[in-house]
Amino acid sequence: MGSLHGHKRQRYSSALGSAREVLACVQVAQAMHYIDTVSPNVLDRMNHIIATLARLVYRRAS
């Protein structure tokens, strides 16, 4: 949130990509049986963060 002007959206976009990548890695790790089942609360929180970042990135310019 420390970025100014047009750079904020770029930073949120980068964070969104990273958050989606983390979720994908967790899903692959589960599918490959590298990790046990992840708590639904953790997955819900991850999805909430991704949704929040998506709203920041894709909101209409005012």
Residue ranges covered by each domain of the chain: 8-58
Task: For residue 53, count other CB atoms closer than 10 A to its CB.
Answer: 20
| Residue 10, CA distances (Å) to 1, 55, 56, 61 in order | 11, 13, 10, 13
Q: What is the pLDDT of residues 2-46, one digit of tens each?
A: 556 667 888 999 999 999 999 999 999 999 999 999 999 999 999
- pLDDT of 34 reads 97
Predicted local confidence at residue 5, as pLDDT: 66
pLDDT reading at 62 higher than 60: no
- Those residues whose C-beta lies under 8 Å from the C-beta of residue 56, and which sit 6 or more positions away, are 8, 9, 12, 16
Give pTM, 2 decimals.
0.82
